[in-house]
Structure 1
Amino acid sequence: MKFRMHLLSYAALSVVLSLVSGATAAEPKPVEEDMHEFMEYVFQPTYKRLKPAMASQPKDNGVWKEIKSTSLIMAEGGNLLLIRAPEKDVSAWNEYSVAVRDLGGDLYRAAQKKDYAAATTHYKAMLTKCNSCHDKFAHGEHQLSP
């Protein structure tokens, strides 16, 4: 009984200390702070794999698997963008990040169904949002094409 009370006290103290400090190891935090580096090594290679896979109706499961993999990475990348908000225009940043996440998720689900028409629609819509974000935050550089 004494051990259980000691354990509960320790757990409560740990919670209080983590709340007071404001940070825990479980909080998301960027590994790479530089946005250009992040985009170059997370999004660019993924886009470069997705573009040829989406160029025409996939003929085999390997291409569908590539579309599913890359679209899921793009979608989850949208979540990663949310923890990298700039100092200015945070609401616009969040809007674009959520759009990439949601449209990438839609593309992923279309690929699961092997629905090329829907996949193409979601892919193009996602790239439009990427380009809009690049217009706003990268001075129009790094425009993507389907």
Structure 2
Amino acid sequence: MKICSHLFGLAAMTVVAFSLTQAGAAEPKPVETDMHEFMEYVFQPTYKRLKAAMATEPTENAAWKEIKSTSLILAESGNLLLERAPEKEAAAWDEYSIAVRTLGGDLYHAAKKKDYAAASTSYKAMLQKCNACHDKFAHGEHQLSP
């Protein structure tokens, strides 16, 4: 009887430990912790595709699809930036991250409507926030242009 209760206790502890391990795995965890690398491989290629797509008003669905795709990636990446706030100036970092998420989302919604004027306004506003963030956190380097 004692052996059964010990085995039951051990099994229960194993289940709890496994559950806690799985719960921890569901927490956001950056794959790349170096911000320069993160920006270079997540934001930079996406921005370059978006810049090309926004250069002129799209006339084909494929171009609108590119704008929708890249703007949604950038908007959702704003959430990823919130996970990477620096120890100093975290409030400013959060402000810029939220702006990227919001303005990228506005750009996405404008592209869904094929509204180039609204898309262009959101795009330029998002780049201004990106550049302001680069001024504050990257010593003015990596300035973006529409």
TM > 0.5 between the two?
yes
What residue is the counterpart of 1:60 in the other structure?
Answer: 60
SS in 2 for 1:24: helix
State the identity as a percent.
75
Q: Give the residue type in structure 1 aligned to 2:103.
A: L
Specify the code of the residue in structure 2 equivalent to 1:125: A
State how 1:33-44 maps to structure 2 within 5 Å. 33-44=33-44
C-alpha distance in 2 between matches for 1:107 and 1:14: 45
Deviations 1:45-76 (A, max 9, x none): 00000001101110100000000000000001
**2:137 maps to which residue?**
137
Aligned partner letter, 2:76: E
Q: Which residue of 1 aligns with 2:5?
A: none
User: What secondary structure, in the 3-state scheme, does the structure 1 residue paired with 2:64 have?
Assistant: helix
Equivalent residue, structure 2, for 1:26: 26
Counterpart position of 2:122: 122
- Paired residues for 1:70-109 under 5 Å: 70-109=70-109
The ranges of structure 1 where at least 4 consecutive aligned residues each deviate by more than 2 angstroms after the TM superposition are none
| Gaps in structure 1 of 5+ consecutive residues | 1-5
Aligned Cα root-mean-square deviation (Å): 2.0
Aligned-partner residue type, residue 77 of structure 2: G
The offset of 1:78, in angstroms, is 0.3
Shift of 1:14: 3.2
Q: Give, in whole Å, the separation in 1 of the partners of 2:133 and 2:35.
A: 13
> For 1:71-125, what per-residue CA distance to the aligned partner results, in whole angstroms no more than 9, with x for missing partners?
0000011000011111100000000000000100000000000000000000000
Indicate the residue corresponding to 2:16 in structure 1: 14
Residue in 2 that maps onto 1:51 = 51
1-structure distance, mates of 2:120, 2:16: 49
Distance 2:106 2:62 in 1: 19
